Chain A
Amino acid sequence: MNSFELIEYAAWGISAILGVWMLVDMVMTNRAYNEELLTSSREGEIDDALVIDPTHQGGHR
């Protein structure tokens, strides 16, 4: 196995980890929150005070 093959395997590995990470997080989020809440966004709403998880504001406050 040459060094470029190692890089290729690393690319496959990172892709798999990130893909699984997203899927697991999506399933966990789907199960942790009510569906009505998850789909409560309304078009054009400008009031971003309606936040349900004060400790996790997307990391932007």
Chain B
Amino acid sequence: MTQATAIHGEKISLLRVLGPGHVWALGVGIVLVGEYMGWNFAVGKGGAMAALIACWVAGLLYTCVAMIDSEVTSTVAAAGGQYAQAKHIVGPLMAFNVGLYLVFAYTMLEAANAITLGYLVQTVGTMAGFADAHDKPFIVLTIVFLAWLNYRGVYATLTVNLILTAVAFIAIIVLFAAVKPWSNEMLHHNELLNGLPYGWLGVIASLHFGLWYYLGIEGTCQAAEEVRSPARSLPLGTMTGIITLLIAATMTWYVCAGLMPWEYLGQAITPLFDAARLTESMPLMVLLFIGTVFSTLASANGCINDASRAWFSMGRDRYLPIWFGAVHPKNRTPYRSIVFLVPVALVFAYFAPLDQVITFSILSGLLGYTYMSLNVILFRKKWPLDTIKRGYVHPFHPLPALVLLILCAATYFAVFLGYGTQLVAMMIFFVIASVWFHFHRYKYVRRGDQFTMQWPRPLGY
């Protein structure tokens, strides 16, 4: 293909091939690994009952996130998701920060998933009698293989995610049915539940890892430029996604809390797989191991998709060098952004401890949720319901936004209790990045070109 093509005015855009199922697979795929591992550290913080309260409080937080996101995204159908929303509704500096939150949250989560997969393969090797098995080759393979898949095309990438996620979700349902939840034959909640061993402070502390049940569902809107019908597919995929996760989270808690004492559950690496082992059923153990591996792969896969779209969008608007805003002419993917983020993920996966990586991911996500609550209030104020046609209108406004803001504040406190240094370090980083953007980078941005939505003038302007 030649320069003549460009002269004739042709363009390359991302490919619109995705349906609601892919959107569901993107959102749930990123998150479902949180049911297989990670959520149970909330049990260690405050006991099993505290983890259940955290599960439902975080569920409320994310239901607000999903409702708010669905409404705004159904009008801002652009790759970059919340970044594009922030640009149009709040302004460039907020958008730059939100873009960074997204890239950090997803790249760290991708690294955490790769570490986990490496650990799982290493464990299998050790159990098979290879005492000196290493995890590093499999960490690298996970990241590079999934990046390659993303590089090749979005349809294949998210179809793979759909299959992986569906299998992992079905595995949870099968386990739930297998432990006979209607009887006390296998589950022993009466003996195992011990109230709140650390009181209500333990409940607040457990909120930190309670987010793990749902962290990343907001990633559905990164697919906005690649779905066939954004106004329909994005709200449908996101809302069915959060419903799926609420069901999976509650089932997971019920099974694990009825099979394991909280002292063990609070520090288990793979609680759902451990639950399957306690049933002494080999088929269940195999199924839950497959579910664990699949959910980890699906999560890393979705994270690469979302991080690259956010980075690509920022490049396209010149918030970063425009070089990153390129689309592959054959695969129709943001190929430079995908390749650029591979070494970033590798560095974190190779050198950083898992809990630090997870905490930075949670903090980045949390900053994004705080922005979302303010964003939707501004959105409704500047563009009331009768001024822009929405694909979905979330009910009870501004209650979900206020609930989200209050829950975010509580979760900041919870994170501060366990990882105060990281919280402060991250805040300082974003302040420095904002100063750099304001005084250096923004002069490269073509200010008129960045606002692409055909919206009426905002109320009061």
**Distance between B450 CB and nearest chain A CB, rounded to angstroms:** 8
Flag whether B289 is at the interface (Cβ < 8 A).
Answer: no
Q: Give the docked Cα–Cα distance between A29 and B338 (Å).
A: 14
In the complex, chain A residues whose CB is within 8 Å of the CB of B450: 43
Chain B residue nearest to A36 (CB atoms) is: B6
Cβ B1 vs Cβ A53 within 8 A: yes
**Distance between A43 CB and nearest chain B CB, rounded to angstroms:** 4
User: Given that A12-B140, A56-B329 are contacting pairs, would A40 and B12 also be in contact in the complex, using a CB cutoff of 8 Å?
Assistant: yes
Cβ B225 vs Cβ A44 within 8 A: yes
Cβ A37 vs Cβ B16 within 8 A: no
Flag whether B330 is at the interface (Cβ < 8 A).
Answer: yes
Cβ A42 vs Cβ B13 within 8 A: yes
> What per-residue 1/0 map shows which CB atoms of A12-53 lie under 8 Å from chain B?
101100110111011001001111111111111111101111
Q: Give the docked Cα–Cα distance between A10 and B216 (Å).
A: 32
User: Given that A4-B128, A22-B148 are contacting pairs, would A42 and B452 also be in contact in the complex, using a CB cutoff of 8 Å?
Assistant: yes
Cβ A19 vs Cβ B342 within 8 A: yes
Q: Give the docked Cα–Cα distance between A36 and B338 (Å).
A: 19
Q: Give the docked Cα–Cα distance between A5 and B129 (Å).
A: 12
> What per-residue 1/0 map shows which CB atoms of B2-44 lie under 8 Å from chain A?
1101100011111111000000000000000000000000000
Cβ B84 vs Cβ A43 within 8 A: yes
In the complex, chain A residues whose CB is within 8 Å of the CB of B336: 26
Residue in contact with A43 in the complex, picked from B141, B313, B327, CB distance below 8 Å: B313
User: Given that A18-B144, A23-B339, A34-B6 are contacting pairs, would A44 and B326 also be in contact in the complex, using a CB cutoff of 8 Å?
Assistant: no
The segment out of B52-60, B130-138, B262-270, B398-406 that lies at the interface is B130-138
Cβ A22 vs Cβ B151 within 8 A: yes
Residue in contact with B141 in the complex, picked from A15, A37, A41, A51, CB distance below 8 Å: A15
Residue in contact with A56 in the complex, picked from B77, B79, B330, CB distance below 8 Å: B330
* Size of A's binding interface in residues, CB under 8 A: 45
User: Given that A14-B145, A43-B84 are contacting pairs, would A34 and B137 also be in contact in the complex, using a CB cutoff of 8 Å?
Assistant: no
Flag whether B213 is at the interface (Cβ < 8 A).
Answer: no
In the complex, chain B residues whose CB is within 8 Å of the CB of A34: 2-3, 5-6
In the complex, chain B residues whose CB is within 8 Å of the CB of A2: 130
Residue in contact with A52 in the complex, picked from B5, B145, B322, B335, CB distance below 8 Å: B5
Chain A residue nearest to B17 (CB atoms) is: A60
In the complex, chain A residues whose CB is within 8 Å of the CB of B348: none
In the complex, chain B residues whose CB is within 8 Å of the CB of A38: 12, 326-327, 329
User: Given that A2-B130, A4-B133, A53-B1 are contacting pairs, would A18 and B148 also be in contact in the complex, using a CB cutoff of 8 Å?
Assistant: yes
Cβ A12 vs Cβ B15 within 8 A: no
> What per-residue 1/0 map shows which CB atoms of B321-352 lie under 8 Å from chain A?
01101111111110110110010000000000
Q: Give the docked Cα–Cα distance between A59 and B16 (Å).
A: 12
Cβ A12 vs Cβ B225 within 8 A: no
Flag whether B218 is at the interface (Cβ < 8 A).
Answer: no
Q: Give the docked Cα–Cα distance between A45 and B145 (Å).
A: 30
Cβ A53 vs Cβ B329 within 8 A: yes
Cβ A41 vs Cβ B327 within 8 A: yes
User: Given that A14-B141, A38-B329 are contacting pairs, would A52 and B12 also be in contact in the complex, using a CB cutoff of 8 Å?
Assistant: yes
Chain B residue nearest to A47 (CB atoms) is: B13
In the complex, chain B residues whose CB is within 8 Å of the CB of A26: 335-336, 339
In the complex, chain B residues whose CB is within 8 Å of the CB of A53: 1, 329-330
**Distance between A52 CB and nearest chain B CB, rounded to angstroms:** 5
In the complex, chain A residues whose CB is within 8 Å of the CB of B2: 34
| B86-101 with Cβ < 8 A to chain A | none
User: Given that A21-B148, A34-B6 are contacting pairs, would A46 and B16 also be in contact in the complex, using a CB cutoff of 8 Å?
Assistant: yes
Task: Pick the 3 closest A-B CB pairs, nearest first.
Answer: A11-B137, A4-B130, A37-B6
Please list the residues of chain A having a beta carbon within 8 angstroms of any beta carbon in chain B.
2-5, 7-9, 11-12, 14-15, 18-19, 21-23, 25-26, 29, 32-48, 50-53, 56-60
Q: A37-B6, A43-B84, A53-B329 are in contact. List 8 more A-B contacts (CB 8 A).
A: A3-B130, A8-B134, A15-B137, A15-B141, A26-B335, A46-B77, A52-B10, A60-B15
Selected A-B contacts with CB under 8 Å, 24 pairs: A3-B130, A4-B128, A11-B138, A11-B141, A12-B140, A21-B148, A33-B5, A34-B5, A37-B3, A39-B325, A40-B6, A42-B11, A43-B79, A43-B84, A44-B76, A44-B452, A48-B13, A48-B15, A50-B12, A51-B10, A52-B1, A58-B153, A58-B155, A58-B331
Please list the residues of chain B having a beta carbon within 8 angstroms of any beta carbon in chain A.
1-3, 5-6, 10-17, 76-80, 84, 125, 128, 130, 133-134, 137-138, 140-141, 144-145, 147-148, 151, 153-156, 225, 313, 316-317, 322-323, 325-333, 335-336, 338-339, 342, 450, 452-453
